[in-house]
């Protein structure tokens, strides 16, 4: 692994912004050079941002053009003035691929970003070469898989006023640490610099309430797919000690949505293997990326009319 200061723009990467009808999208991209392999787009999960991928960006960029973006409402991309949806975020990424990359890409989505990646592949198949889902969300009504304290937390979030009071009562630091402790198996990886990149996005009450609204409507983000709706290659990556999303969900995804998918487990890792165990994550992902066809493919011009979202009034 190549070392870089966590939370800092890695050497060879640049930060840019894409204007859109719902505001600006912040993204990082690797430096242009004569790559022979297809581009890769990284989509973060719930409450996360681009910097979360920092430990693996240099190694991924050794062979592929790499793009990572903040979804609307997260990181430094603009906040939304309407309820988000998996379709809206998928359209955001579709527009990004068309306007910035200019050719179909391999999509790597983590957690909620996995839901967005799968929705993108189903709605805009001409823009997607392959999909890797890392500890993905997208399956509704799985409360029976969780421990009692996790069920109680979710019940509290759903309760009017209680969720708001809990969200606003704790400071950004405590909220961030508790969030990370809920998803990390490797607790030693919850270091000060990791906490520091999350805190600025949780300073405003509106940010807490935006995230609370997503948690309360999480079943609405489940995937409405049938086997065969996504025909591109699919890789399902899962930390084998994921405390947030039980391991059996990896095989449920395969059985329910992607029977052609390959499942790979990341040993001694939790919900965020690209940061908890970056070497093992790259060892699992890079060979699969290398196996994807590298031939160029043009973006269909009809896609823009579908992917571009109507402006807000």
pLDDT of 39-70, one tens digit each?
999 999 998 999 999 999 999 999 999 999 99
Q: Is residue 306 part of a domain?
A: no
| Segments forming the whole domain that contains residue 136 | 13-142+220-295
What is the average pLDDT value for the chain, to the nearest integer? 85
Q: Could you give the CA distance from residue 242 to residue 231 in angstroms, rounded to a whole number?
A: 27
Q: What angle do CA 188, 286, 62 make, to 5 degrees?
A: 95
Q: Could you give the CA distance from residue 30 to residue 42 in angstroms, rounded to a whole number?
A: 12
Q: Is residue 194 part of a domain?
A: no
pLDDT of residue 132 exceeding 80: yes
What confidence score (pLDDT) does residue 173 get?
Answer: 60
Q: Is residue 203 part of a domain?
A: no
Q: Could you give the CA distance from residue 21 to residue 311 in angstroms, rounded to a whole number?
A: 5
What confidence score (pLDDT) does residue 80 get?
Answer: 86
Q: What is the CA radius of gyration of the chain?
A: 18
Q: Could you give the CA distance from residue 238 to residue 132 in angstroms, rounded to a whole number?
A: 10
Domain count, the chain: 1
Determine how many CB atoms are found less than 10 A away from the CB of residue 3.
8
On whether the CB atoms of residues 276 and 1 are closer than 8 A, the answer is: no
Q: Is residue 50 part of a domain?
A: yes
**305 against 279, higher pLDDT:** 279
What confidence score (pLDDT) does residue 312 get?
Answer: 32
On whether the CB atoms of residues 243 and 183 are closer than 8 A, the answer is: yes
pLDDT of residue 273 exceeding 60: yes
Q: Is residue 188 part of a domain?
A: no
Two structure tokens written together for 156? 């509290």
CATH of the domain at 87: 3.40.50.1820
Cα four-point dihedral sign 43, 137, 115, 70: negative
Q: Could you give the CA distance from residue 180 to residue 46 in angstroms, rounded to a whole number?
A: 12
Q: Is residue 103 part of a domain?
A: yes
Q: Is residue 313 part of a domain?
A: no
Q: Is residue 129 part of a domain?
A: yes
């Amino acid at each position: 692994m190549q070392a870089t200061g966590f939370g800092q723009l890695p050497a060879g990467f640049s930060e840019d912004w894409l204007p859109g009808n719902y505001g600006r999208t912040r993204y990082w991209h690797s430096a242009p050079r004569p790559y022979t392999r297809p581009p890769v787009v990284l989509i973060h999960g719930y409450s996360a941002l681009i910097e979360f991928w920092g430990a693996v960006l240099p190694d991924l960029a050794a062979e592929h053009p790499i793009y990572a973006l903040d979804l609307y409402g997260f990181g430094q991309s603009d906040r939304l003035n309407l309820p988000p949806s998996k379709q809206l975020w998928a359209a955001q990424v579709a527009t990004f691929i068309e306007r910035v990359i200019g050719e179909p890409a391999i999509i790597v989505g983590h957690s909620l970003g996995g839901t967005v990646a799968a929705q993108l592949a189903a709605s805009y198949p001409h823009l997607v070469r392959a999909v890797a889902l890392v500890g993905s969300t997208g399956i509704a009504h799985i409360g029976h898989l969780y421990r009692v304290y996790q069920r109680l937390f979710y019940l509290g979030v759903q309760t009017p006023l209680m969720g708001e009071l809990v969200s606003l009562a704790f400071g950004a630091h405590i909220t961030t640490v508790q969030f990370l402790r809920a998803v990390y198996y490797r607790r030693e990886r919850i270091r000060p610099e990791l906490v520091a990149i999350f805190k600025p996005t949780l300073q405003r009450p509106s940010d807490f309430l935006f995230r609370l609204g997503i948690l309360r409507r999480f079943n609405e983000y489940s995937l409405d797919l049938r086997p065969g709706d996504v025909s591109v290659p699919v890789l399902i990556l899962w930390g084998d000690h994921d405390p947030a999303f039980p391991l059996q969900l990896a095989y449920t995804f395969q059985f329910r949505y992607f029977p052609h998918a390959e499942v790979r487990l990341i040993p001694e890792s939790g919900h965020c293997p690209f940061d908890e165990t970056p070497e093992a994550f790259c060892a699992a992902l890079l060979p699969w990326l290398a196996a994807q066809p590298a031939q160029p493919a043009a973006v269909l011009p009809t896609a823009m009319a579908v992917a571009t979202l109507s402006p807000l009034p």
